[in-house]
Amino acid sequence: MSKVYLLLISAALYAFYKEERFMNIIKPSVLPGFMDLLPKDQLVFNKMKEIIEDNFKKFAYLPLDTPAIEKTEILLAKGGGETSKQVYNIESSSRNMSMRFDLTVPLARFVAEHYHELEFPFRRYHIGKVYRGERNQRGRFKEFYQCDIDIIGDEFLDIRNDAEIPLVIYNIFKELNFTEMTFHLNNRKLLNGFLDYHGIDNFTEVLRIIDKIAKVSEQDIKEMLSDIIPEVDKVELILQFISYKGENTDVLNYLEELKIDNDKYSEGLKELSEVYKYMRLFEIPDENICLDMSITRGLDYYTGTVYETFLDNYKSIGSVCSGGRYDDLASNYTKKSLPGIGISIGLTRLFYQLNEADLIDIPTRSVADVVIYPMADCYEYGVKVVDKLRDEGIIAQIYFEPGKFKKKLNYANKLNIPYIIILGDDELSKDEVALKDMDTGEQISVCIDEAIKIIHSNKL
Amino acid sequence: MSKVYLLLISAALYAFYKEERFMNIIKPSVLPGFMDLLPKDQLVFNKMKEIIEDNFKKFAYLPLDTPAIEKTEILLAKGGGETSKQVYNIESSSRNMSMRFDLTVPLARFVAEHYHELEFPFRRYHIGKVYRGERNQRGRFKEFYQCDIDIIGDEFLDIRNDAEIPLVIYNIFKELNFTEMTFHLNNRKLLNGFLDYHGIDNFTEVLRIIDKIAKVSEQDIKEMLSDIIPEVDKVELILQFISYKGENTDVLNYLEELKIDNDKYSEGLKELSEVYKYMRLFEIPDENICLDMSITRGLDYYTGTVYETFLDNYKSIGSVCSGGRYDDLASNYTKKSLPGIGISIGLTRLFYQLNEADLIDIPTRSVADVVIYPMADCYEYGVKVVDKLRDEGIIAQIYFEPGKFKKKLNYANKLNIPYIIILGDDELSKDEVALKDMDTGEQISVCIDEAIKIIHSNKL
């Protein structure tokens, strides 16, 4: 009987000890709605980011990297609305500070503040994290990367710039292996002029309804429009106008032939034609462009050209990149008139969606070209080998840890490292290396220079 | 007289109009303590960042990019202290969220959370912004980039890894054109063993005092030590120990010859010797290494190897990169023992100091290789030229804006763009371009292919 007591006491003591020892362990986890990638996904994400940044540079955009925290009064200068509810504010007794919710407001602040130190047109790219306290929802993130390019003019910005912005995006998606993508292109002045000409004056509401077109049926649009426009024929006119489909040149002809006698409309048509013409001159194929009167970007501040971009085979993902022209970027911070054109890729969401659907098809280099495993007394030789490989531009790593060889090998295997080098007494004495191709399993003994040649020849 | 009234009324009306028009202008500015770089500085900053990242990749570190906002309980798991006062908290009624203040705590959280999905030793780099509500002070920033590498072992991590970390840093500073830099290297076990052997037990306080050595005089150190250690001879012993100077092999001999019979001390000496030996094997020159018993990193959580890095000719800048070994990375989040070694470059502060002192000497490519200026009717020809140049890997920009030619030229000038191409009717008719070298002012008419050759030959 006493043995049982002893056992019980031991168990209780052990439980107490464990409790004591690990009592202070905090369960490690990220906040919901924040992306936290494992290295293999991070490598792919970074590759996408790199392709985007390289193209921004290739098209001569200057880099900007403003703080993620700004004065609240700056960020919310435009006034409340939906955005202000989503803004993360920093607790502070002395200052109102908030996290930026996009990269456009900081750009406006920057250009207004440094107006005299910048050259115009000011072409800048910015890839950075922005923050929005969105409702928890699959595929929506509270911290996400935006990749923006904008061209800001001083008082004036030539309309041809609106044609170059899509070219940058076209190049990016081509490099991401999505050649089947379409720019849906419109000009807000067209619809505004059209509505004005037909005596319909609740522009904003109409635009907001049309903006829903990708998500609801035409019948729904019709009903919503009827709610705010009593005349049935006018609703029909709008529906006809926004749903016209055809070759791009047909669309332009159609818009011309409507003979809408309205200045805004004429201006919009002239601009749209010019943007389309120059997009073609910039060698964006015609099948990648779709003049589309239903694109309005209803809730935004755009005043002319508007774009949405869809991947032809994965339209359900929605627009992967959108933007447009605004007459006045920084009117809250300066009296200078600063018209601009810009576009933005929401990289975090794009990556998430493409990755979930297993659509990412870009070659990503492994973290290393080769791992070197020195046996017991060959560490110094191992360092000599890794030094030499690195001198030759090979990404090499030396594995110093003890343990069974199988476990060591597993490391290179799991990380998809294409080669390993094993160094034992034999190799040391002959000044050779045992090079193993992890794909084929083939292992050969060669001199270091030969190993370098082989590893180089198989690199991405 | 009535004219004067009219003038006054006009003036009043104008003033009223101006007031009305610009009443809502908010002065654009960043929060104090946040860095906001102009493009020309941003280009240099980015170049430095790129050199750092390229080297991290070259040495086979995996990328990580955790959220900038984490659960407050995670960030402050280690408990209050100075750090917690500097942490930026996010206003939220439902959750405690804060901005990360370094990249090590997020790494610990990540490794503990994803332990089963990672391969060990886990080598990761992370370049990201961190946030600290520091007192406003010149050269101190509340948002700053840290560039970290760490190697995390599972239960064990070979000491030779401690020698590879400085190799990465050495390569980075070499590429940044600072070859005259010195790693000050120590091992905490040495000083701890030394103090233990001499019966001095207030380790932490002693370490904290010694950590001040770069900033105060030896006399000050002596006085501070005397305040906590009553025995004069013991203070002297410490001072002698930490101030011993000599060739690195002399230092090791000195430490050996002290014949301190203490396990911690012996272990520390063995580790320091091994790290030094392998740093030399990794071909870090001896003159770039300084075994230095005064390096303690007093306030940190290091348990073995510690590093500080100084630029020999600019010691006043302080340590530009520091780090060390810790026995247990993530004890707050897991019961697994995860020893690690890491180092960190505080890029924002480093850039600021080097830039202020005009010490940055790395070639930075201009935003564009060439700007194309088409005259009145040559826009389409201009697009053809820019397309062709881009196809050949040239960073080319076409300037669409109207205005005086002098103003246009000024754009390329101010942005240090090396070439411009002018396209007029003459060039159009001959299918040529007028290529102007902005350095020499020389202008020649050549075919496009010839222009491409010339621009290529002069690129960085």
**What digits encode the pLDDT tens for the residues B172-217?**
999 999 989 999 999 999 999 999 999 998 888 898 898 888 788 8
Question: Is A61 in the B-facing interface, judged by CB distances under 8 Å?
Answer: yes
Chain A residues within an 8 Å CB radius of B415: 119
For residue A450, is pLDDT > 90? yes
* B285 φψ region: left (φ > 0), alpha (ψ -120 to 50), beta (else): beta
Q: Which range is least confidently modeled, A45-59, B287-301, B420-434?
A: B287-301
In total, the C-beta contacts within 8 angstroms joining chain A to chain B are: 249
Q: What is the pLDDT of residues B74-128, one digit of tens each?
A: 999 987 677 788 999 999 888 899 999 999 999 999 999 999 999 999 999 999 9
Q: Which residues of B touch A379 (CB under 8 A)?
A: 160
Question: In this complex, do B57 and A89 lie within 8 Å of one another by their Cβ atoms?
Answer: no
Name the residue type at position A204: T
| HSE-up (13 A, CA, CB side) for residue B343 | 27
Which of B26, B42, B153 is opposite residue A65, by nearest beta carbon?
Answer: B42
Q: Tell me how far apart the alpha carbons of residues A366 and A116 are, in angstroms, rounded to a whole number.
A: 46
Cα–Cα distances (Å) from B164 to B160, B254, B278, B343, in that order, read 7, 25, 8, 11
The Cα A225–Cα A213 span in angstroms is 12
pLDDT in tens, B1-55: 567 676 767 666 665 555 545 557 999 999 999 999 999 999 999 999 999 999 9
Comparing CA positions, the residue from A325, A246, A260, A326 lying closest to residue A292 is A246
For the residues B371-389, what does the mean pLDDT come to?
Answer: 96
User: If you ran DSSP here, which 8-state letter would residue B36 be given?
Assistant: -
B117 touches chain A (CB under 8 A): yes
Residue of B nearest to A110 (CA): B28
Residue of B nearest to A381 (CA): B281
- The Cα of A1 is separated from the nearest Cα of chain B by a number of Å equal to 35
Chain A neighbors of B67, CB-CB under 8 A: 30-31, 34-36, 143
**Burial group, residue A155, by CB count within 10 angstroms (0-12, 13-18, 19+):** exposed
Instruction: Round to whole Å and give the CA distance between A47 and A263.
Output: 46
Percent of chain A's residues with pLDDT above 70 = 94
- A134 part of contact set with chain B, CB < 8 Å: no
Average pLDDT, chain B: 92
Q: In this complex, do A43 and B63 lie within 8 Å of one another by their Cβ atoms?
A: yes
The answer to whether residue B62 neighbours chain A at the CB level (below 8 Å) is: yes
Residue A331, C-beta contacts closer than 8 angstroms, at least 6 positions apart: A337
pLDDT interval class at A110 (50, 70, 90):
very high
| Least confidently predicted of A147-161, B73-87, B399-413 | B73-87
Give the nearest chain B residue to A24 (CA atoms): B332
- Which of A138-147, A362-371, B313-322 is least confident? B313-322
Task: With a cut of 50, say whether residue A250 has pLDDT above it.
Answer: yes
Q: Regarding predicted confidence, which is higher, B55 or A5?
A: B55
Yes or no, beta carbons of A118 and B39 under 8 Å apart: yes
Cα of A391 to nearest chain B Cα, Å: 10
**pLDDT band with cut points at 50, 70 and 90 for residue A274:** very high
Distances (CA, A) of B319 to A382, B182, B314, B333, B350: 31, 10, 10, 31, 9
The CA angle B256-B261-B262, to the nearest 5 degrees, is 105
A434 alpha carbon, distance to own chain's centre: 43
Residues of A in contact with B96 (CB under 8 A): none
Please give the C-alpha separations between residue B395 and each of A18, A171, B398, in angstroms, as whole numbers.
63, 14, 10
Q: Does B123 touch chain A (CB under 8 A)?
A: yes
Per-residue tokens: A310: 């869809």
When mean pLDDT is compared across A171-180, B133-142, B269-278, B437-446, the lowest value belongs to B133-142
Question: pLDDT for B140-161, tens place per residue?
Answer: 899 999 999 999 999 999 999 9
Contacts of A333 in chain B (CB under 8 A): 25-28
Identify the band that residue A218 occupies on the pLDDT scale cut at 50, 70 and 90: confident
How far is the C-alpha of B326 from the C-alpha of B338, rounded, in Å?
9
Are B58 and A395 inside 8 Å of each other by CB?
yes
pLDDT tier for residue B314 given thresholds of 50, 70 and 90: confident
pLDDT of residue B358: 92
Give the pair of three-digit tokens for residue B359.
Answer: 């010490």
- Residue B458's SS3 state is coil
CA distances from B73 to A22, A396, B78, B81, B99 (A): 16, 38, 9, 14, 12
Question: What does A119-132 look like in DSSP terms, one character per residue?
Answer: -SSEEEEEEEEEE-
Q: For residue B134, what are its two tokens?
A: 């520091």
Contact between B106 and B100 under an 8 Å Cβ cutoff? The reply is yes
Closest CA to A308 of A327, A321, A296, A318: A321
Measured CA distances, A181 to A176, A357, B95 (Å): 11, 17, 40
CB contact under 8 A, A91 and B90: yes
Q: Is B39 within 8 Å of A68 when comparing Cβ atoms?
A: no
Q: Are A30 and B157 a contacting pair at CB < 8 A?
A: no
Instruction: Please check the confidence at residue A20 and state whether its pLDDT lies above 60.
Output: no
The confidence band for B299, taking pLDDT boundaries of 50, 70 and 90, is low
Residue ranges of A 25-54 with Cβ closer than 8 A to chain B: 25-31, 34-39, 42-43, 45-46
Rg (CA), chain B: 30
Task: Return the pLDDT at A135.
Answer: 83
Interface test with B, best of A23, A27, A365 (most B CBs within 10 A): A27
User: What per-residue confidence (pLDDT) applies to A295?
Assistant: 92
Q: Please, what is the average pLDDT of chain A?
A: 92
**pLDDT value for B297:** 82
Residue-level pLDDT at B12: 63
Count of CB atoms within 10 A of residue A202's CB? 12
Chain A residues touching B58 at Cβ < 8 A: 390, 395
CA-nearest residue to A332 within chain B is B25
- Give strand pairing partners of A446: A433
With CA atoms as reference, the chain B residue closest to A55 would be B395
Q: Is residue A299 predicted with pLDDT exceeding 70? A: no
Which of A36, A161, A334 has the CB atom closest to B400's CB atom? A161
Measured over the CA atoms of residue B382, residue B384, residue B385 and residue B390, the dihedral's sign is positive
Is B332 in Cβ contact with A60 (below 8 Å)?
A: no
| Residue A19 near chain B (CB below 8 Å) | no
pLDDT in tens, A317-336: 889 999 999 999 999 999 99
Q: Give me the mean pLDDT over the A229-250 stretch.
A: 94
Question: How far does A174 lie from chain B, in Å, by closest CA?
Answer: 14
CA distance B72 to chain A (A): 10
Q: Does A131 touch chain B (CB under 8 A)?
A: yes
Chain B residues close to A34, C-beta within 8 Å = 67, 69
Out of A61, A121, A400, name the one closest to residue B160 (CB).
Answer: A400
A61: closest chain B residue by CA: B367
Chain B residue with minimal CA distance to A385? B282
The fraction of chain A above a pLDDT of 90, given in percent, is: 81
pLDDT at A420 over 70: yes
Mean pLDDT of B268-293: 98
A-contacting residues in B 246-305 (Cβ below 8 Å): 278, 281-283
Query: Buried b / exposed e across B406-434, counting CB within 10 Å, b at 16+?
Result: eebbebbeebebbbbbbbbeebbeeebbb
CA distances for B63 relative to B128, B208, B340, angstroms: 11, 33, 17
Provide, rounded to the nearest whole percent, the portion of chain B with pLDDT above 90: 81
Contact status of A78 with chain B (Cβ, < 8 Å) = no
Nearest to A160 by CA among A271, A60, A263: A271
Q: Which residues in chain B have Cβ-Cβ distances shorter than 8 Å to A65? A: 37, 42, 45-46
Answering whether pTM is above 0.90, one says yes
Rounded to the nearest angstrom, the minimum Cα separation between A334 and chain B is 6
Q: What is the pLDDT of residues B316-350, one digit of tens each?
A: 888 999 999 999 999 999 999 999 999 999 999 99
Contact criterion met (CB below 8 Å) for A338 and A384: no
- Interface with chain B: mutation pick from A17, A21, A22, A34, highest number of B CBs within 10 Å: A34
Which residue among B39, B65, B77 places its CB closest to the CB of A42?
Answer: B65
* Chain B nearest CA to A54, separation (Å): 11
Instruction: Answer whether B401 sits within 8 Å of A153, measured CB to CB.
Output: yes
- Distance between alpha carbon A379 and the CA centroid of its chain, in Å? 43
Quote the CA–CA distance of A14 and A23 in Å, as a whole number.
Answer: 13
> In DSSP terms, which residues pair with A150 in a beta bridge?
A124, A342
Q: For A296-312, what is the mean pLDDT?
A: 88
Q: Does A336 touch chain B (CB under 8 A)?
A: no
A199 φ, ψ to 5°? 70, 25
DSSP-H helix ranges across A176-295: 188-197, 203-210, 218-228, 232-243, 248-257, 263-281
